[in-house]
Structure 1
Amino acid sequence: MSGGKLSPRQKMINMMYLVLIALLALNVSKEIIKAFNLMENSLNTSTKNLEAKNDLTLKAIVSEAADKPDAQAAAQFAKKAKAISDKFIKNIEDVKADLEANSEGRMEGPEHMLVKGGVAELTMGDNMEVHSNYFLLEKKPTRRDGKPYAFNPSKMRGDAVKDLINNTRIDLLKVLDEAMKNPYLGGKDDAGYTKNLLNKAASDLTKKTSLIAEDQKNTDGKTTEWVSMYLEHSPLAGVFALLSKYENDARALESEITAKLAESVNASKIKFDKTMAVISTPSSAVLQGQVYEADLILAAYDSKSDLKMTAGGSAVEVKDGVGKYKVTGGTPGEFNYKVQIAVPKPGGGTELKEAEGKYTVFPSIAAISADELNVFYVGLDNPISVAVAGVDPSKVRVAASAGNLVMVGKGKYQVRIPVRQGNECNIAVQAQIGDRFIPMGNKRFRIRNVPKPVFRVGAIALDKPVPLSSLKIQSRANAVLENFVYEGVKFTIQGFKFIGIGRTGPKQVVCNGPSMAPAQSILTNMRSGEFIMFTDIRAVGPGGQVVYLENAATTIQ
């Protein structure tokens, strides 16, 4: 039952069998017989799964063999290993059939079918004689049903089964030896890589395989024969479980050999089954005036692979072949991290693929700025800009404590205060971080009325004497905002009173609207040195706001 360093699976199977044998010695027979049947079913299922796995691996090798001589050779050796296992299992199944025929077969009824879809309990599962006689006392070239055995029992049947197990192991391991000598595998020009791969596999499998039947030495130095220990002094149910175990061992050894043959021709290499667009950039933070640069890559990857990835020294969760690196920004500044991906090599082992990344942590502060001054004017659309470093504008909330705020573009807003009800307006900013909004800052703006415009006759200011000829050609009066921060803000004259004081005394006229026509009748008769005045000047500004302008007067030059 031993064979050097065993895999955990084989250790478990062997241990289960030995425990059941030990419990049997305590006369816990009924429960142990059922346990042997459960073990037999479990081993049969495992053997079928291994066979399916081996078939897939063989198909992978064959798919590489179209124009590759090494893959063609590997496929032939894999098929040979399968044929050896198939023959062994056929022989063991013949022995099982013979034992069933000699022991009233298996029980009927659902209560004896302990595993759905498996084999029922043996009718004489606790019998200790039928198989003892069969293995130790009989030597016949044919089965009890008259059909020939697939192997020639030249010895007692028990010794023949022992030889069958050991010879099958030798034949399977010999497949690797032959592959090493093949010019397309062990002899190919790859600096001895494939030969070393197969040689190491043969050495390791020789030590760890459980497909071995050998006599055991007791602590007192006496030898206990394998046939006596496992085929004579076990109940019939235990013998069936043991035979199923060796079938499983054969498939397991075939599986190891087939996998190594696949490795030798890269049939077990990573298969890329998906693609994705990748944007690789040194940094996603760009200052004004800097150039943003990124590499655009179509990346192929294996969505079914279980790659091991680390970033910054910590393991990264891998889902569908894609690693997701997440880190919470702490202290503001630029941070670098190294990425390592362990990529399986066709010849076994892994190769580390490394890359470097970096990210920038900005302080959680919103930049709020008026596009002109830190003043909001009543009745005007006051533009402001809002930005939160590292946050998309669509995930930023902005609120004003007075007036109405309207978004007019990414990070661009207008604040309109129709009526002055205070001296300040507070702009508050929140940003969506994860699934919640976090305050990012606020800023206060002064609220001011739009300054009064000054009166003009056409474009003429009345702050000094004006030639009469210049006044006569002006068709309208205007209200002008001098040096105002916002361009395009206009006031329109609604009306005024014109007074002319000349040699014949004062004369006045009321002008409705901006037209100077009513005043021209008085100006026509005036001379140099006489005085003119504009009073009760009304103008309407943005939002329909009506203001009264300062009176204007001058002397005619």
Structure 2
Amino acid sequence: MAGGRQTPRQKLIGMMYLVLTALLALNVSVEVLDAFVLVDDGIRQTNVNFGRKVDMVYDDFVKQRALSEERVEPFFSRAMEVKDISEDLVTFILESRSEMIARVDNIPIEVADTLRLIDMRRKDNYSTSSSFWLTEPIEGGSAATIQPGGPGTRAHKLRTMIEEFKESLISKLPEQFRDVIQLGLDTEGPFFDKFGNALTWQQAMFDRQIPVAAATNLSRLVTEVRNAEFDVTSQLYAAITADDFTFDKIEARVLPRSQIVLQGDRFEADVIVAAFDSRQQPEVIIGGRTLEGGRLSIPATSEGLQTYRGVVRVIGPRGIQEYPFSGDYIVQRPSATVSADAMNVFYMGVDNPVSVSVPGIASGNIEARISGAGNRLVPRRTEGGYIVRLSSEHNVNQNVTITLFANIDGTRRQMGASTFRVRVVPDPYPEIAGQSEGPIPRDVLAGQPLIPRMRDFDFQMDFRITQFTMNTTIAGDFREWRSTSNRQTPEMESAIRNSARGQRFQFENIQAVGDDGRTRNLPPMVFRIQ
């Protein structure tokens, strides 16, 4: 058998081969050779178990591919190629085994496929089995021109397929794994007979080997093929799982919990090795001090840019190796931002939208409070957004303050406050047909209602006219009429329709009430009939 490092499974297979060789070296009876049957039965059961184990790896591949096709696909496609070439080799071995048994016992191949070795009638007829493998041509030519076990024989073809199989399996593995795995299936030898004469692999396998031994040896070959298939597919599967990666590069990494630190707090970060051996704990040194658990914690005592540097020590192939790291962070005072979305004041009787934020703090960890009895902060759907609704009892001469608190590491801290002036919503301007003064046709002015309109104001408040008076001079007499709504009275409309060109009409004592319930005295309007 070939030397080199072998896995326990390969050592077991090698011991089984030695047992077979020892049995063949003995001149034993046919009854003793029945022991080969027991060995073959055990090997074939092992092959069944190997097949199940390999199928489990393929099933795991399918599951992983469904979870992350892009990452798994390169290894999955290689595993499928390994499966195909393994099946081709196993099929050739088993079909040749059945054909040899059929030739030895002169029975149909269909019967030989399921025949147990215990039922072979000519277990010791090695001349037929040797000829089948070593001298019978399979791809043209004649027995006279073929060298025993040479090109054109089944033994040579099997050896070639095994060597191509091994080369193909190795090529499917990532480069870094090719020197690690041992496939077995040795065809190079050296091999010797019992007298110490050198043999080829073909001769060692089939020359004067009784059929029951050759059949058992072929079952052993299937075991080695399945073993190689399992090792390669398992290695390919391990290549896609992070826990089993073999890394050829290592870097120190610092993972800060936050890039922004409030004055009085602490800068904290996890210092790790990006590729590491889980069986050892890296040593992290900064400022000549070894960090416990690899966690960096620096008090934030002053504002501005702060820097740090250190090394990570790990035990590598060349002993203790050091990997330097460095970084920086910014320390700033606690701060908070409260901004009115429309103006820098709050108005009575309307919804005042505001936005709040604290740098470095998630909105879910911010609490806003407003001063003044009855004043309310109503959350909006936007992140950090609120509506300020002032109480109708609030004194317009008293400012309102919004204070922000933040939950930092389980502690409630005040982060800042903003103060806003309070104002009453300005008065609207009355209009008739979109005009508030100037020349106007009598047909446009007559019968039109008074409409209060807001000018240069970003908030929405509705007003309604509750009363007004209209006056004019008719034939030298001053005449005045009063309305208790925003509509002209019939007398007003009649006076306008019977007016002369150039006649003036004044609308005065105009009062309006807004949504806030306050009564407003609006400016007068003067129109001249065109």
- TM-score category of the 2 structures, normalised to the smaller one: 0.3 to 0.5
TM-score (norm. length: structure 2): 0.44
TM-score (norm. length: structure 1): 0.42
